[in-house]
Structure 1
Amino acid sequence: MRHGIRFQVNKMLSQVLRSSLFSAQSLPPFRARSFAAVARHQQEKRRELFDRVIRVDHAGEYGADRIYAGQMTILANSGAGETIQHMWEQEKEHLRLFNDLIDRHRTRPSALLPIWNVAGFALGAGSALLGEKMAMACTIAVETVIMEHYDTQMKALEVDDSDEGKELLEIIKKCRDDEEHHHDLGIEHEGMDAPLYSIATCAIKTGCKIAIAIAERV
């Protein structure tokens, strides 16, 4: 009797073990496919984020380069010339960094670079024609928007632990710090004392925000 019960128990245990083994063997491929699909989705999202960030920042640094080029055309020999040249050199370095990222990530540049070229130069030269203080007011306005823009990007990239994400975050941090330095230089050089400062900077900020929204996509 006991032998029969022991036999039945062993038989049931064997069936349970076989069933568990079958389930364990059949589950990993499903999980592997699920993990692969999730990984592909995450990679696609990361790629979209990197492309958007690199494209708009490249366009922004290109525009900044043209703004200072326009200002230097008018104010190269003025009291503000040395300061503008200093800021321009830093913007040139930013542009070199993003040119490199464009190439390495194979990101499509903004299709509107010719427009940013003309608009940036016109803004720089136009503000300089209104005097050194207005040129500095232009810098304050532009850099205020760019700092906010970079802050938003940094928050998005801080959760990305990939090597590419960390590199991009460090580059943006460096550029952001330089832009804050430019903003402060604009204040030190009495940019806030420019005629119609509030109206002019409001218009410039609005234009910058529109340009950023467009450059992210086009």
Structure 2
Amino acid sequence: MRELTPLDHLFGQLDGGLRAAFGPPPSGTRPSPASTLDDAALDEDERRLTAGLMRINHTGEVCAQALYAGQAATARSDEVREKMAEAAHEEEDHLAWCAERLDELASRPSLLNPLWYAGSYSIGAAAGLAGDPWSLGFVEATERQVEAHLDEHLERLPPQDQRSRAIVAQMKEDEARHAQMALDNGATILPAPVQKLMAVTADIMKAVAYRI
């Protein structure tokens, strides 16, 4: 087999972006945490709220695919590149679970997913160019913020909607593990102003993705 060229890697990244933004959801490697749970009856307001929250989570997973792809493309070491690829693979499960739940709720993903993907890939690539410790620091900060917003979703989801709650709870557990992976591999903790800017950007994305 011939060695892959930078152009091959570029086309591979573009293909991944198109699949995440436009293609059918990946099948995932793990069964959905909701697979053994009954679907609860939701009134229209509860269904709309749940669909909006799961659309945010789906968009977050599209962004995660892009961030990890961008960081892997510019990582300095093979070890960090492999860690990014492992985390991205788990995020594919999240993407599949959220897409399935949106379909059950008779809803859809964000129409702006291509925009979210492109922006996140650029941010991930820039983080990678800053060096592996900073790139891993970006992962740690991002995953801790995602953990917090998933906690918020668990508080807001209807108590009887055990299917959505099981998905969100498993996602939260996985994100915490990804953050710890970054710390264990030498992450540099990002300055507070940078983390604040990340949080503000994430809040804008969540507000838009909830509706569009």
Question: How far is 1:76 from its partner?
Answer: 7.7
Partner of 2:181: 185
Report runs of 4+ in structure 1 exceeding 6 Å deviation: none
Question: Aligned Cα RMSD in Å?
Answer: 1.9
Question: How far is 1:119 from its partner?
Answer: 0.9
Once residues 86 and 155 of structure 1 are traced to their aligned partners in structure 2, the CA distance between those partners, rounded to angstroms, is 29
Percent identity of paired positions between Structure 1 and Structure 2: 24
- Counterpart of 1:198, as a letter, is A
1:198 aligns with 2:185: no
Partner of 1:4: none
Partner of 1:160: 159
1:214 aligns with 2:198: no
Whether the aligned pair in 2 keeps the contact of 1:141 and 1:202 (CA below 8 Å) is no
- Counterpart of 2:211, as a letter, is R
Question: How far is 1:110 from its partner?
Answer: 1.1
Question: How far is 1:114 from its partner?
Answer: 1.4
Q: What aligned pairs does 1:1-218 form with structure 2 within 5 A after superposition?
A: 43-75=43-75, 77-157=77-157, 159-161=158-160, 165-192=161-188, 197-218=191-212
Larger radius of gyration between Structure 1 and Structure 2: 1
Whether the aligned pair in 1 keeps the contact of 2:68 and 2:84 (CA below 8 Å) is yes
Question: How far is 1:189 from its partner?
Answer: 2.1
Question: How far is 1:57 from its partner?
Answer: 0.7
Unaligned runs of 5+ in 2: 1-40
Question: How far is 1:177 from its partner?
Answer: 0.3
Once residues 186 and 138 of structure 2 are traced to their aligned partners in structure 1, the CA distance between those partners, rounded to angstroms, is 11
* Residues 187 and 206 (structure 1), Cα distance of their counterparts in 2 relative to 1, 3 Å cut: farther
1 or 2, which has the higher helix percentage? 1
Once residues 61 and 192 of structure 1 are traced to their aligned partners in structure 2, the CA distance between those partners, rounded to angstroms, is 23
TM-score for the superposition, normalised by structure 2:
0.74
Unaligned runs of 5+ in 1: 1-39
